[in-house]
Amino acid sequence: MSQPFRIERDSLGPVEVAADCLWGAQTQRSLINFAIGEHRFPRPFIKAFAQVKKAAALSNQKLGKLSPENAALIAAVCDEIIAGRHAEQFPLSVWQTGSGTQTNMNLNEVIANRGNELAGNARGSYRPLHPNDHVNMSQSSNDVFPTVMNVVCAAMLEELLLSLDDLRQTLAAKIDEFKNILKSGRTHMMDATPMTLGQEFSAYLAQLDFAGQQLINARAGVRELAIGGSAVGTGLNTHPQWAETVVAQISEQTGLSFMPASNKFMALAAHDGLVNLHGHLNTLATALFKMANDIRLMNSGPRCGLAEVRIPANEPGSSIMPGKVNPTQSEALTMVCTRVMGNQTTVSVAGSQGHFQLNVFKPVIIHSLMESLQLLTGAMSSFDSRCLQGLQANTTQLEQYVKRSLMLVTALSPLIGYENAARAAKYADEQSCSLKEAVLALELMEAAEYDAHINPRDMISPG
């Protein structure tokens, strides 16, 4: 009967590892020492790590530091990981060493053991591949982990921008659809002067355009990679052309354009590019929250709320009230936004913790960033397809609100004066009559003169 475990060794000595595991001693020690929470690095992060490891192996071969045979073995295993194989071999908690060293070694050990297996040797033999000497060649956790952070964020940012663009296009279509539909504006949650529903929706699009442009501008800071900095930024134990060579390989592996960090000391000690990126994700979250909340309020009803718009009925809204439909997509989107806002604080504090030559809050920075990117991408897509695209204007209700609005009196202010206009609005409210009836009752103007000046469509633009 085969042993259920094997012995792996590192600089601290032997460790028992389950026989069916590809990882080695340092991964096993991390599992023992950091049994904290249930957060694990997700597949996109592990995929990006494998892309970087493959790029490193091919670059080391190109620079004459790694044999073609060893480079081929490393690349073959990385291709398996990139394809989604061996996902169970990356079990480490996010809450570990602040440099991400243990996850880096997790990759190194899995790649080495699997590569040696492909070469016909036993797991744990580390022949011909050694996790440090070959898989980690020319690298330090201090530069490779932040490199992976930027690579995965760059890829996820592109996905988010696509989702944002889809949402923008739907908003643009709604602006055109609603451009001639009058409604009562609101300020301080109170009645205000008329506008069109299209004008109201144009504000949402403008907010998203602003946030989107800032995110596009943030690309540059994410595309600079720390690799080549080695332990403290000096590039110790690397080839003079290592940084340029491996970054070119990473660009080829990912299909995205990267460049070596202009200052590798900063790239290890700080993550300002990622902090900046999350700041703009926070701006996007505030814009999305505003839009989703407005739509939630405009949809309130259908009989006892504003009922200005109708959203799609996707699912029953209550386990006790039959026929109830709730604005669930708005609720989901706004909850996502609050999570992003919380992550903003986490990323800001963690980004400030660059002690001398190394920021040691890397795992929590990338965990928070990936969560924000993933949640916003999915929530925008869901809100777009399951709420915004099917949203309809309740024109009957909107017309009634415009007719009943006391703030139409604003157009009379230049003619009868602010004080008289205020008197008319107050009288109409107290007497529950129309604004026209109030003006006539107070003898502020004749009916024909009132009709000539009170046309809501004349109030939606300057003049």
Per the annotation, binding residues for substrate are 99-101, 130-133, 140-142, 187, 319, 324-326
CA–CA gap between residue 252 and residue 239 (Å, rounded)? 20
Q: Tell me which long-range contacts 345-353 makes (C-beta under 8 A, separation of at least 24).
A: 347/274, 347/275, 347/278, 348/275, 348/278, 348/279, 351/270, 351/271, 351/272, 351/274, 351/275, 353/98
Given the residues 257, 318, 352, 413, the one annotated as active site: 318
CB 358 within 8 A of CB 232: yes
DSSP string, 83-132: TTTTGGG---BSSS-TT-HHHHHHHHHHHHHHHHHHTT--TT---S--II
Sign of the alpha-carbon dihedral angle for 375, 381, 382, 388: positive
Query: Who's near 146: CB < 8 A, 6+ residues apart?
Result: 225, 226, 267, 268, 271, 359, 362
Is 382 considered catalytic here? no
CB 168 within 8 A of CB 381: no
Which residues contribute to the annotated binding site?
99-101, 130-133, 140-142, 187, 319, 324-326
Q: Tell me which long-range contacts 165-169 makes (C-beta under 8 A, separation of at least 24).
A: 165/212, 166/380, 166/381, 166/384, 167/208, 167/380, 167/381, 167/383, 167/384, 167/388, 168/205, 168/208, 168/209, 168/212
CA–CA gap between residue 30 and residue 373 (Å, rounded)? 27
Phi (first) and psi of residue 18, to 5 degrees? -55, 140
Given the residues 39, 59, 138, 188, the one annotated as active site: 188
CA–CA gap between residue 123 and residue 411 (Å, rounded)? 83
Is 202 considered catalytic here? no
DSSP string, 36-79: --S-B--HHHHHHHHHHHHHHHHHHHHTTSS-HHHHHHHHHHHH
Query: Who's near 203: CB < 8 A, 6+ residues apart?
Result: none
Catalytic positions are 188, 318
